[in-house]
Amino acid sequence: MKNLTFSLVFSALAFSASAQDVIPAKGGDISIKPILHGTLVLEYQDLTIYVDPYGGAGKFSGQKPADLVLITDIHGDHHNQETLDGLDLSNTIVVAPQAVADKLPSGKYKAIEVLGNGQTKTLLDAKIEAIPMYNIPETADSRHPKGRGNGYVVTLGGKQIYLSGDTEDIPEMRSLKKIDVAFVCMNLPFTMDVEQAASAVSEFKPGIVYPYHYRGGEGLSDTEKFKTLVNESAPKVDVRLRNWYPEN
């Protein structure tokens, strides 16, 4: 029994350290690697995508160089120039909303592609659609006004991957269709609470959902509660809890 317990603990620690899931897709698997908070790495075939690089370049030690970097918004946990500057992105295409592109230094990247809400581009065989992310109600002093930042739907190998960015429970999220993998934020007072996130996910029903970006003003959100709520109302959704805060 002791050996079995040790084996289980060791396996859990090993998974936490490698932090990688594999999603079968056409032409090969998609690997998903949580890094920190709202930051992750996607790999498909020869393509490597960094999402909202944050936490310092050292967080990407051992990762393949990025072919694409997706940035959702201007805040420091999404557009983190210190982390970007610590990475070699000279052969990287950065995809960002205009508000972020305006802050990016020139000459450091292969290209900067600006996407606004509702726009779509295919880059390196990845289809990237920018969708709204914002706070409700829409006010002049909103932390995330509509139109400034982007959520993204990335299509790789026939799989649609939704990256919420910093959003509340907005109609555009609830109306998503045929999402295979979703990354959904939940951290008050910046985005939405666990109940709102679970309600939205239960409506658009992705095949798999990862709660991410769940550190807020009062610490870490209750992702176990999120899983319970989703499983009660949408039992076919595969809720995957991963460690986005390995230093906590």
Domain boundaries, the chain: 19-239
| Cis, bond preceding 137 (omega within 30 deg of 0) | yes
Averaged pLDDT score across all residues of the chain: 91
Percent of the chain scoring above 70 in pLDDT: 90
Span 94-119, pLDDT tens digits: 999 999 999 999 999 999 999 999 99
Would you identify the CATH topology of the domain 19-239? Metallo-beta-lactamase; Chain A (3.60.15)
Provide mean pLDDT across the span 232-238.
Answer: 98
Contact 182, 203 (CB under 8 A): no
Span 135-147, pLDDT tens digits: 887 766 678 899 9
pLDDT score recorded for residue 5: 40
pTM for this entry: 0.91
Nearest to 147 by CA among 119, 126, 175, 169: 119
Q: Which two tokens stand for residue 122?
A: 């295919």
Provide mean pLDDT across the span 193-198.
Answer: 96
Backbone angles phi, psi at 165, to 5 degrees: 60, -160
Which has the higher per-residue pLDDT, 246 or 236? 236
pLDDT score recorded for residue 139: 67
- How far apart, in whole angstroms, are the C-alpha atoms of residue 128 and residue 70? 9
Span 15-38, pLDDT tens digits: 443 457 999 999 999 999 999 999
**DSSP H or E run through 5:** helix 2-18
Contact 73, 47 (CB under 8 A): no
Q: Determine the 3-state secondary structure of 110 from DSSP.
A: coil
Burial 231-246 (b: 16+ CB within 10 A, else e): eeebeebebeebebee
